[in-house]
Amino acid sequence: MTSAAASGSATAALPTRFCGIELAHPIVNGSGTFDAIAAQRAFGPALVEQFPFAAFVSKTVTLAPREGNPPPRLWELPAGLINSIGLPNKGLAGYLTHDLPELAALPVPLIVNVMGFTRDEVAELVSAFAERDEVAALELNVSCPNVETGLIMGADPAETALLVERVRPLTDKPLIVKLTPNATDPGAVAVAAEAAGADALSLINTIRGMALDPRTHEPWLGGTTGGVSGATVRAVALAQVYDVAGRVSIPLVAMGGVQRGRDADDLLRAGATLVAVGTESFRDPLAGARVADELTRIRRPDARPGARARG
């Protein structure tokens, strides 16, 4: 893997090992917040040459294609965003045919995020990717209801355990369970996921929120409610990462409101191994590379270009 050389960051030098995967630095993207294929249409090959992340996490894939929620899908907050995107995607077959070959050509390892509405659906998705060499790891998005029980899979420790136990034997690839912050006790879900065989956990997903149309006073978002992300959730993310890190021993991918190297450093100090940049990429596509550079300056002052000149 050529990840170290190809990372878009000019100065980031924080080699990181995550579930056996070697990364140039600990900054990845949050699922659904960067479309590496669309970005190449907008920016051309320069995007790949300056690829901002040390690994690429693709948007949630479901078994069947999804159109997503009706617009409007976005509501801006002071220092944040509510989205009700609704997980639009081409479905498993469409992803394997159209997206996987292009994403496999990226200069960094690929992590595929999947979600199902039943345990069988998740199992089918995991099995399909288990045999693909292009895929370095799998992330399970458990922020959705199990249509058979009506429970949000990731909101309940027992539901989460049943799901992870079901899919764990289906793949040797690292399994990352993406926790939802909309649970009574995310730490308890984390403990259950670890006990059921998860290799890593990622957190936080977006926090449920809503906005009313200032003119009609009806819900603004086409999906009625949505998920809050961005700087405004940073303190919540830090608290949940700190709590979960104290209760499990598997590595964590931390995210939520990361805008600067300092925010990433906080999450690493709270116990994370990787940090994902989400909403901040909307403000600057190369935010991930900037965060990695800033983090390098914080963690390795010796690696600062100016330091050598002085010495």
Partner 1 sequence: MSAGALAVTTDDGRRTLAPPGRRRVTVLARQQFGAYAVLRCADPGGPPPRPGQFAMLATAERWGGGDGERPFLPRAFSVLRARPGELEFLLEDVGPGTARLAELEPGDGLWVLGPLGIGFSVAASELAGRRALLVGGGVGIAPLAILQDELVASDAAVTALLGFRDGLHAAGAALLRDARIATDDGSAGHAGLVTDLLTAELDRDQAAIVYACGPPPMLEAVRALCAGRAVPAQLALESGMACGFGACFGCVVPTRSGYVRLCLDGPVLDADRLETALTPGAGH
Ligand X SMILES: Cc1cc2nc3c(=O)[nH]c(=O)nc-3n(C[C@H](O)[C@H](O)[C@H](O)COP(=O)(O)O)c2cc1C
Interaction site with ligand FAD (CB under 6 A): 74-76
Of 59, 119, 173, 299, the one binding ligand X by CB under 6 A: 59
Partner from ligand FAD, partner 1, ligand X, none contacting 255, C-beta within 5 to 8 A by type: ligand X
Q: What is the DSSP string of 200-268?
A: EEEE--PEEE--B-TTT-SBSSTTSSEEEESGGGHHHHHHHHHHHHTT--S-EEEESS--SHHHHHHHH
The enclosing H or E element of 7 equals none
Q: Which two tokens stand for residue 126?
A: 């995991």
Nearest CB to ligand FAD, comparing residues 53 and 75:
75
Residue 74 touching partner 1 (CB under 8 A): yes
Q: Are 8 and 34 in contact (CB under 8 A)?
A: no
Smallest distance, ligand X to C-beta of residue 149, A: 20
Tokens 């990622």 correspond to: 202
Nearest CB to ligand X, comparing residues 61 and 191:
61
**Cross-strand pairs, 23:** 16
The enclosing H or E element of 51 equals none
Residue 182 touching partner 1 (CB under 8 A): no
Which is catalytic among the residues 87, 110, 140, 144?
144
**DSSP code for 97:** I
Site string for partner 1, 139-178 (x = CB under 8 A): ----------------------------------------
HEC-encoded secondary structure of 106-155: CCCCEEEEECCCCHHHHHHHHHHHHCCCCEEEEEEECCCECCCCCCEHHH
Sheet strand arrangement including 226-229: 74-77, 80-83, 226-229, 207-209
Count residues binding ligand X (CB under 6 A).
27
Of residues 190-249, those binding partner 1 (CB under 8 A): 220, 222, 230-231
144 has catalytic annotation: yes
Smallest distance, partner 1 to C-beta of residue 307, A: 25
Smallest distance, ligand FAD to C-beta of residue 114, A: 30
Residue 146 touching ligand X (CB under 6 A): no
Nearest CB to ligand X, comparing residues 47 and 275:
275
- Nearest alpha-carbon partner for 147 in 62, 71, 83, 65: 62
Residue 284 touching partner 1 (CB under 8 A): yes
Of 205, 240, 273, 296, the one binding ligand X by CB under 6 A: 205
Residue 257 touching ligand X (CB under 6 A): yes
Q: Is 266 left (phi over 0), alpha (psi -120 to 50) or beta?
A: alpha
* Total length of the chain: 311
Footprint on this chain of partner 1 (rule: CB under 8 A): 32-35, 38-39, 41-44, 46-47, 50, 59, 67-68, 70-74, 76-81, 83, 85, 88, 220, 222, 230-231, 259, 279, 281-286
Name the residues annotated as catalytic.
144
